[in-house]
Amino acid sequence: MDLGIRGRRALVCAASKGLGRGCAEALAAEGVDLVINARGEDALHDTAKDLSDRFGISVTPVAADITTPDGQAAVLKAAGDIDILVTNAGGPPPGHWRDWSRDDFIKALDANLLSAVALMQATVPHMIEQGWGRVVNITSAAVRSPIAVLGLSNTARTGLTGFVAGMSRDVAKHGVVVNNLLPGIHDTDRADSLDTGVAKAEGISFDEARARRKSGIPVGDYGRASDFGAACAFLCSEHSRFIIGQNITLDGGALNATL
Interaction of residue 140 with ligand NAP, rule CB under 6 A: yes
Cβ 59 to ligand NAP, closest distance in Å? 14
State the Cα–Cα distance between residues 95 and 151, nearest whole angstrom: 8
Shorter beta-carbon distance to ligand NAP: residue 14 or 209: 14
Cβ 259 to ligand NAP, closest distance in Å? 21
Residue type, 127: M
State the Cα–Cα distance between residues 186 and 192, nearest whole angstrom: 9
Cβ 66 to ligand NAP, closest distance in Å? 4
Interaction of residue 37 with ligand NAP, rule CB under 6 A: yes
Cβ 79 to ligand NAP, closest distance in Å? 14
Shorter beta-carbon distance to ligand NAP: residue 144 or 190: 190
What Cα–Cα distance (Å) separates residue 220 from each residue in 210, 215, 228, 252?
Answer: 11, 6, 17, 8
Beta bridge pairs of residue 14 = none
Contacts 24+ apart (CB under 8 A), 215-219: 216/254, 217/184, 217/185, 217/251, 217/252, 217/253, 217/254, 218/252, 218/253, 218/254, 219/252, 219/253
Interaction of residue 213 with ligand NAP, rule CB under 6 A: no
Cβ 114 to ligand NAP, closest distance in Å? 12
Interaction of residue 190 with ligand NAP, rule CB under 6 A: yes
Shorter beta-carbon distance to ligand NAP: residue 140 or 171: 140
Interaction of residue 214 with ligand NAP, rule CB under 6 A: no
Interaction of residue 88 with ligand NAP, rule CB under 6 A: yes
List, in sequence order, the alpha helices (H) in the chain: 18-29, 41-55, 69-79, 102-109, 115-130, 151-171, 189-202, 206-215, 225-235
Angle between helices 206-215 and 189-202 (to 10 degrees): 110
Shorter beta-carbon distance to ligand NAP: residue 15 or 164: 15
Interaction of residue 16 with ligand NAP, rule CB under 6 A: yes
State the Cα–Cα distance between residues 217 and 73, nearest whole angstrom: 40
Residue of the chain from 19, 27, 156, 171 that contacts ligand NAP (CB under 6 A): 19
Cβ 225 to ligand NAP, closest distance in Å? 7
Interaction site with ligand NAP (CB under 6 A): 14-20, 37-40, 43, 65-67, 88-91, 138, 140-141, 183, 185-186, 188-191
